[in-house]
């Protein structure tokens, strides 16, 4: 067991190395999530080979995991504008079902047919529905893209992870009830309703309170940042205390504050990024640090099959959804290529699945799920960036305007 002083020193090394690696690899178009995962992986396998990070840093990993999931959920929520859904609710719904359904079905069938493990197949199928908006939005910003394809892509990215969280939460509830030995249809829906219902109630309540503070009490942007951060932490704590979903609770909180009149949450937006980015970075670094070279022996065919089947499912599913929604031809042919990246949401949900499986005695299965998502994320982030560039270029929407899009 390493001392507290050594642990803090290690975190400093992790953060500095993560920043340095991301700055260097950014020159070559490598997404930051990939840089952070590689940083943790290389440090743990080069200099910390005698440490069992899963045990020595277990408390910190759980802490950073919950904080990161809470912050990621809040950021997703603030991007979820109900007005977008109201404009083209039918089209967005059909495209979402096509994209998520295609990813889930193709991955589930591929994994189940090759491995014959239902739990592994349904978990990876659920995780396949998540996307990574940051990599795609960064490409849109750099290409100065604008047009109907770009707009649909941004709308889908805003709503896709919400659907992914709900799908995976449903699967995680199934795992929890199944391992408890009380799996019945009634028990499953009671637990699922409790999980989602409590998260919605917590998120709405804290969101309304935060908005009230921002609208009537808070005077400066600095105060807005402090009160928002405090209520995000409170929401995370309540969710953990009553055993409900952290990411869904803060997502509802973010959605609540983002859709109330006045958009007061924007006062804390920029400063919040400065505060939460190191936490999310540390989470990705620690995930990378948990992967060892031994995990690549035998060759990680599961990650390759997952990546190929997910890519196929997203492209085909989105295409079929586009046909059903009668969108224009360039959207049908290109939209799926802009939705290939995976990142923080998939990693966070995979980490939760790993914990549930480990607590149930399925340690190897949990590790297999997490390692598969980590490896595939590295390649899917790169694939997603190139896929987005290909789609936007082929649709003729490059250099249309100098738009501003948040990363």
Give domain status of residue 360, yes or no: yes
Asked if 31 and 135 touch (Cβ cutoff 8 Å), the reply is yes
- pLDDT at position 393 over 70: yes
> Which string of b and e fits 246-269 if b means at least 16 CB within 10 Å?
bbbbbbbbbbbbbbbeeebbebbb
Domain with 158 in it: 54-284+296-394
pTM confidence score = 0.81
pLDDT digits (tens, 9 = 90+) for 145-178: 888 888 888 778 778 878 888 888 888 888 888 8
- pLDDT at position 402 over 60: no
- Mean pLDDT over each residue of the chain, to the nearest integer: 84
- pLDDT at position 42 over 50: yes
Tell the residue number behind the tokens 């070279």, with chain if given.
Answer: 293
Give domain status of residue 69, yes or no: yes
Distance CA 14, CA 40 (A): 7
Judging by beta carbons within 10 Å of its beta carbon (0-12, 13-18, 19+), is residue 355 exposed, middle or buried?
middle
Give domain status of residue 29, yes or no: no
Give domain status of residue 41, yes or no: no
Give domain status of residue 193, yes or no: yes
pLDDT band at 200 (very low <50, low <70, confident <90, very high): very high
What pLDDT is stored for residue 50 in this prediction?
Answer: 66
Task: Please report, for the domain that includes residue 323, its CATH number.
Answer: 1.20.1530.20
How many structural domains is the chain composed of? 1
pLDDT digits (tens, 9 = 90+) for 20-32: 999 998 888 787 8
Asked if 69 and 246 touch (Cβ cutoff 8 Å), the reply is yes
- In 3-state terms, what secondary structure has residue 203? helix
User: What one-character DSSP code corresponds to residue 407?
Assistant: -
What pLDDT is stored for residue 404 in this prediction?
Answer: 41
Asked if 76 and 162 touch (Cβ cutoff 8 Å), the reply is yes
Instruction: Mention every residue, 6+ apart, whose C-beta is less than 8 A from residue 58.
Output: none
Give domain status of residue 389, yes or no: yes
Report which of residues 219 and 200 the model is more confident about. Answer: 200
Give domain status of residue 369, yes or no: yes
Give domain status of residue 143, yes or no: yes
């Amino acid at each position: 067991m390493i001392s507290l002083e050594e642990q803090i020193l290690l975190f400093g090394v992790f953060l500095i190395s993560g920043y340095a690696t991301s700055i260097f690899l950014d020159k070559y178009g490598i997404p930051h999530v990939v840089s952070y995962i590689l940083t943790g992986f290389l440090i743990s396998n080069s200099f910390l080979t005698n440490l069992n990070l899963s045990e020595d840093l277990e408390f910190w990993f759980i802490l950073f995991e919950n904080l990161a999931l809470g912050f990621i959920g809040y950021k997703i929520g603030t991007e979820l504008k109900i007005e977008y859904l109201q404009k083209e609710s039918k089209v967005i719904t059909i495209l979402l079902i096509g994209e998520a359904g295609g990813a889930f079905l193709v991955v589930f069938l591929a994994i189940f047919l090759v491995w014959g493990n239902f739990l592994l197949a349904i978990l990876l199928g659920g995780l396949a529905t998540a996307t990574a908006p940051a990599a795609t939005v960064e490409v849109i910003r750099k290409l100065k893209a604008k047009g109907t394809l770009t707009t649909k892509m941004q709308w889908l990215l805003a709503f896709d992870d919400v659907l992914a969280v709900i799908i995976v939460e449903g699967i995680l509830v199934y795992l929890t009830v199944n391992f408890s030995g009380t799996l019945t249809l009634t028990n499953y829906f009671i637990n699922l309703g409790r999980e989602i219902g409590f998260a919605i109630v917590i998120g709405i309540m804290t969101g309304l309170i935060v908005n009230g503070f921002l609208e009537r009490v808070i005077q400066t942007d600095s105060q807005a940042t402090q009160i928002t951060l405090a209520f995000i932490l409170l929401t995370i704590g309540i969710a953990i205390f009553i055993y409900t979903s952290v990411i869904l609770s803060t997502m509802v909180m973010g959605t609540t504050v983002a859709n109330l009149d006045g958009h007061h949450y924007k006062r804390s937006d920029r400063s919040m990024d400065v505060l939460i980015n190191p936490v999310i970075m540390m989470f990705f670094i620690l995930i990378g640090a948990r992967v060892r070279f031994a995990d690549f022996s035998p060759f990680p065919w599961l990650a390759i099959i997952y990546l190929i089947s997910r890519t196929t499912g997203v492209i085909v599913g989105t295409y079929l959804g586009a046909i059903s929604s009668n969108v224009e031809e360039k959207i049908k042919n290109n939209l799926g290529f802009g939705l290939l990246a995976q990142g923080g949401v998939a990693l966070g949900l995979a980490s939760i699945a790993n914990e549930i499986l480990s607590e149930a005695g399925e340690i190897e299965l949990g590790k297999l799920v997490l390692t598969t998502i980590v490896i595939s994320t590295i390649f899917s982030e790169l694939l997603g960036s190139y896929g987005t560039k290909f789609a936007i270029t082929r649709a003729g929407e490059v250099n249309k305007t100098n738009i501003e899009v948040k990363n």
